[in-house]
Amino acid sequence: MKRLPRYGQPPVTLLGRLAVDRSAGGQGVGEFLLADALRRSLEGAQQIAAMAVIVEAKDEQAESFYRHFDFVPFQQTPLRLFLLMTQVARLFA
Question: Which residue of the set 65, 66, 71, 82 is catalytic?
Answer: 66
- Tell me whether residue 7 is one of the annotated catalytic residues: no
Q: How far apart are the first and last CA of the chain?
A: 23
Beta-strand (E) ranges in 15-62? 52-56
Question: Catalytic residue numbers?
Answer: 66
